[in-house]
Structure 1
Amino acid sequence: MADSCDILISGGGIAGLIAAATFGAAGFDVICVDPTPPVTARDDAGADLRTTAILQPAKALLQVAGIWAYLESHAAPLEVMRIIDAGGAEPEARVVKDFKSADISDQPFGWNLPNWLLRRELLARLNELDRVDFRPGLGTANLFTRTQSAQVTLSDGTQVSARLVLACDGRDSPMRRAANIPVRTTRYGQKALAFAVIHDLPHQNVSTEIHRSGGPFTLVPLPDHDGKPSSAIVWMERGPRAQALHQMEADDFEVEMNRRSCGALGQLRLASRRSIWPIISQSAARMSGERVALMAEAAHVVPPIGAQGLNMSLGDLRVLLDLAQSRPERLGDATMMEAYHKARHGDILMRVKGIDLLNRTSMLSPRPLRDLRAFGLNALYSLAPVRKTLMQMGLGVK
């Protein structure tokens, strides 16, 4: 006999775990599966060393789901977004512009947390929720849908009957493929390095994005590490250069890292191992199919610019939750799935295209084009209404 639930979530990454906690707290019966058990300690093999910024609108959702109480004490506020253009002959800051959260709100832009820690605290929240059954070590294998329900076969042969299948299973989503929803993918020939550092100067809750060529070098505030100021870094470069950096001895890598940082936080020293992953943009042709909703990287993938990735995912979740709670008897039916697609698809396409443009601009190599980029940054910043609108759009409130 098949197990049954209201919602089967395929994928137990950060987005999937948040979705499980949110729907469980809202009174829905949830089963969440992921073939890879979460790694929840910073220095364990496989730990995700990237960080995630929880922006203002996302915080409200996490509070309702009872998640924010687990995260608040670990979070580093993001009060200033600093953009530096270092596209001159030498890697030196030539244009520095600060976008301040105080200009549009009495709260920070967001709060930054390491991904491994997010997973740890989300699991702690799930353990409190009787309506959530998390099954790490299991994946989804097959999908069969009817107008009234979906039947999912798990990797151990177990069958689960659900009213809604929520695909949070990554850019190669097996549930998206099973639902025959195509995707459009853009490859940039870039890779990103992620690692943590300690540094001489306090970050003062400023997230700093340095543009030269190959992609941005971004320093994001973290809580102090071993009593010293600490930041997470995402360093995007063209593939061969990124691979060479990843393979360097630590001492040589630190030399290159400090040169690329333009001394923004003084001397940087590695405080973690380095991870590397490819950069793509991707968007699904539809956000839904019969009894299936796509969310997070199953629906959209963007380069790590402007803290948009998870916050776009939580935008998906807000819409799904609102639809599910407004008409719970219609959970997963064709009307709900069509409403979800219409509510999210246009905004996602706009953001994917916008971040694609920002990334291509950050990759510029020819000096005249880098000079034009610096001119554009100055022009946008000098127009206060434009600057305010850009900040609001980044938060997802316009």
Structure 2
Amino acid sequence: MAEDCDILISGGGVAGLTAAAVLGHAGLSVICVDPFAPVTERDADGSDLRTTAILQSAQALMETAGIWDHLAAHAMPLQVMRIVDAGGEQAEPRVTHDFNASDISERPFGWNLPNWLLRRELVARLKELTNVDFRPGVGTTRLFSRTTEARVSLTEGGPVRCRLVLAADGRQSPMREAAGIGVQTRRYGQKALAFAVTHPIPHQNVSTEIHRTGGPFTLVPLPDHDGAPSSAVVWMEDGPTAQSLYHMDVAAFEKAMSERSCYLMGPLELASRRTIWPIISQTADRLVGERVVLMAEAAHVVPPIGAQGLNMSLADLRCLLDLITNRPDELGNVEMLRSYERQRMPDMRLRVQGIDLLNRASQVHARPLRDLRAMGLDAIYSAAPVRRTLMQMGLGVR
């Protein structure tokens, strides 16, 4: 016999757990499943050492749903976003532009949090919601939908009958595949390394993105680690180079990453293990199916530039919540899902295309192209109206 709920969420990553908390807080009955239990300790095997910048609009959504109470004490404010071009003969800054949140807001751009900690605190929030049932270690297998409901088979226990299936189950989404929705994927030949470092020069709440070749090297503020200033690093490089860096001994790696950072924070010391993953862009052909809606990486994947990944995902969630709030009797029906796709598809495509262009520019190796990139960055970011518009777009402000 099928178990009933309003919404079944396939996927218990940061986006899926946030969706469960937000929709549960809104009064809906939610079952959230994921085949893997979340790793919620920094140094445990399999922990996600990437960090996420929660931008202003995403923070407001989390605050409304009671999530921010769990996160505020751990969050590091991001007051300045610094873009550096270091594409000359020597690894040193030649163009630097700062985007200060005070130019458009009284609040920081956002707040940085480690992904493993986000999972830990989101799970804690779900335990407070009696109408949310989080089932780690349980995956989805089959989907059967009709105009009034969907039924989802699970790897453990009986099927679930619901009014809406929310696919937040990643770039290889089982529910997207079960709904027959295709994807367009673009590969760059890049990989990204993620790790934490300490450094002698305080970061002063500045997130720094350094462009040279192969992709950006980004330092994002973290709280002090063992009494020293600390940052999270995402280092994007051509695949073979990234793989070599991943396997490099610690001393050689610390020398390489310090040089790549142009010593802007002084010599960097590794403060965690290294993780590595491939860089792609991906967009779903559709964002909805019968009684199914896609969000987060089931819908869109972008390179880690400009803190857009999770914040695009939470824009998906905010749109869905607004539709549910305004049309509670239409949960999961054709009209609601068409509205969701109509609202989210243009913004999704615009941001994916924009980040694709930025990433391609960051990859260039030839000196003339690097010089052209530096001139372009200088011209664009020096114009005050353009700077303001870019900051507002980055924050999701229209």
> TM range, normalised to the smaller chain?
over 0.9
Match of 1:208? 208
| Distance in 2 between residues matched to 1:359 and 1:367, nearest whole Å | 17
Match of 2:127? 127
| SS of 2:322 mapped into structure 1 | helix
| Distance in 1 between residues matched to 2:382 and 2:271, nearest whole Å | 37
Match of 1:262? 262
Deviation at 1:309, TM superposition (A): 0.2
Deviation at 1:397, TM superposition (A): 0.5
Deviations 1:80-116 (A, max 9, x none): 0001100001111111111111111111000000000
Match of 1:65? 65
Deviation at 1:381, TM superposition (A): 1.8
Match of 1:83? 83
Q: Work out the percentage of aligned pairs sharing the same amino acid.
A: 68
Q: Answer yes or no: is 1:311 the counterpart of 2:322.
A: no
| Distance in 2 between residues matched to 1:189 and 1:106, nearest whole Å | 40
| Distance in 1 between residues matched to 2:14 and 2:107, nearest whole Å | 24
Match of 1:185? 185
5+ long unaligned stretches in structure 2: none
| SS of 1:359 mapped into structure 2 | helix
The one-letter code sitting in structure 2 at the alignment partner of 1:144 is: F
| SS of 1:390 mapped into structure 2 | helix
| Distance in 2 between residues matched to 1:21 and 1:99, nearest whole Å | 32
Match of 1:165? 165
| Distance in 1 between residues matched to 2:99 and 2:377, nearest whole Å | 12
> TM-score, with normalisation over the residues of structure 2?
0.99
Moved over 2 A (4+): none
Matches within 5 A, 1:374-389: 374-389=374-389
Deviation at 1:376, TM superposition (A): 0.8
Match of 2:149? 149
The one-letter code sitting in structure 2 at the alignment partner of 1:322 is: D
| Distance in 1 between residues matched to 2:103 and 2:381, nearest whole Å | 13
The one-letter code sitting in structure 1 at the alignment partner of 2:321 is: L
The one-letter code sitting in structure 2 at the alignment partner of 1:54 is: I
| Distance in 1 between residues matched to 2:19 and 2:327, nearest whole Å | 18
Deviation at 1:155, TM superposition (A): 1.0
| Distance in 2 between residues matched to 1:158 and 1:35, nearest whole Å | 15
| SS of 1:89 mapped into structure 2 | coil
The one-letter code sitting in structure 2 at the alignment partner of 1:71 is: L
| Root-mean-square deviation over aligned CA pairs | 0.6
Q: Answer yes or no: is 1:196 the counterpart of 2:196.
A: yes
| Distance in 2 between residues matched to 1:383 and 1:251, nearest whole Å | 42
Deviation at 1:295, TM superposition (A): 0.3
Deviation at 1:250, TM superposition (A): 0.8
Matches within 5 A, 1:1-398: 1-398=1-398
| Distance in 2 between residues matched to 1:17 and 1:308, nearest whole Å | 18
| Distance in 2 between residues matched to 1:104 and 1:328, nearest whole Å | 35
The one-letter code sitting in structure 2 at the alignment partner of 1:265 is: M
How many pairs does the alignment contain?
Answer: 398
Deviation at 1:329, TM superposition (A): 1.1
Deviation at 1:345, TM superposition (A): 0.4
Deviation at 1:157, TM superposition (A): 5.0
| Distance in 2 between residues matched to 1:12 and 1:276, nearest whole Å | 21
